[in-house]
Amino acid sequence: MGLRSIKEIFIIGHGPSSSHTMGPHFACEYILNKYQDITKVVVTLYGSLALTGKGHLTDYIIDMTLKGIDHEIIFDEKTHTRHPNTMKFDVTTKKSRYIENVISIGGGSILHADNIDNKAVGEIYPHQYMTDIMNYCLEHKISLYEYVSMYEDKDIKEYFKKVLKVMEAAKERGLKAEGYLPGSLKVRRKAKEMHEAMNNGTEGIKGNAMKAAVAAYAVAEENASGGIICTAPTCGSAGVIPGCIEYLRSANLSDEKIIEGLMVAGLFGIVCKMNASVSGAEAGCQAEIGVACSMGAALIAYCFDKSTVDIVQSAEIALEHSLGLTCDPVKGYVQIPCVERCALFAIKAINAVKLAVIIPDDDIHVSYDDSVKTMYKTGLDMNAKYKETSLGGLAEIISGEK
């Protein structure tokens, strides 16, 4: 078993959720492309999709994608399914009737339910684990970026130029936007105000780490508003990497170097996705924001020319100390605590790198793969109410009313 392309870690599309918005959108497109002469489609949403779909605009995106076709959406909150982001499509054509079960596995990716145990479809890398990748790079004296370049398509850098452009555009929109995030929570957009306070030298709001936090906040607000963003590895965690990029901009690093760093970050993301999960519904927010933090740490460490061991260690520290983080969005909206969380974990990625470079390489006891495995096992053991169902944690304590 190897790894799939890192492109699926960075998917461009509408927020606010890669699993609840992008995934259902792609699933509907899959049905439309597979079946001709459709007369009706009944879409049944299970698990987390049923419980928090309305807050994540799941019904809106399905209605938009199936526009012009007679369709019905059923929110089934009671039926248990193996994967919490399962959709059943009951398709009627002029000739017959078909049942398709599709799961949204996180990060905008979908998988036919029959293939739930086969995550190796379309693998392009020969290695499955980060330890093997790191040892291969050390043995052959190549960088992690060179490793990625060996196996990805020739257009990979062009793809990441687009990714960087989308992230930067989302940040700029977020820094200018005013008003409220959509939905009943009435959360006011704050990135513009924070940015202005920082530029005015307000005490306590200055420095490159705060620039990263504000940029992350801006992108997270854009995502929560349903704007065009890029998953990294999900919509809910989409602010972390742009925040880290803003930190790198403060060091005057070139687009070329940042794009290389994004490719390295993608490698850590795909290791998590293939060997564990990047879905908050499956493994809690540790699988979204924790993985994003590890990717951000790898990005920063690479761009500052740290050693391969230090890059891997930076990512490991970031992930290890995100373990156990629950996914508890209030009322199902990707607003509380998701927006602030992106800002905070951009800073955490920066600090993970600073810590990694002063820890002796011969005193590393926990590998990145150890943390990935632990993250997944923790997610499986986690009570379902803490996994994007909005039934526990902050979502239970806070009513969402002013």
- β-strands 38-46, 71-76 pairing: parallel
Identify the three-state secondary structure at position 189.
Answer: coil
Q: What is the DSSP string of 257-287?
A: HHHHHHHHHHHHHHHHHHHS---HHHH-GGG
CA angle 300, 295, 330 (to 5 degrees): 120
Helices 368-381 and 289-303, axial angle in degrees (round to 10) = 170
Q: DSSP labels for 90-118?
A: EEEESS-EEEEEEEEEETTEEEEGGGTT-
pLDDT over 50 at 402, yes or no: no
Q: Whole-number mean pLDDT of the chain? A: 94
User: pTM for this structure?
Assistant: 0.90
Angle between helices 255-275 and 289-303 (to 10 degrees): 140
What's the count of helices (H) and strands (E) in the chain, helices before strands?
Answer: 16, 7
Query: What is the tens place of the pLDDT at every residue in 203-258?
Result: 666 689 999 999 999 999 999 998 999 999 999 999 999 999 999 999 999 999 99
pLDDT at 179 over 50: yes
Residues paired with residue 41 on neighbouring β-strands, in sequence order: 71, 91
pLDDT tens digits, residue range 275-290? 999 999 899 999 999 9
| Residue % of the chain over a pLDDT of 90 | 85
Q: Strand 38-46 vs strand 12-14: parallel, antiparallel, or unpaired?
A: unpaired
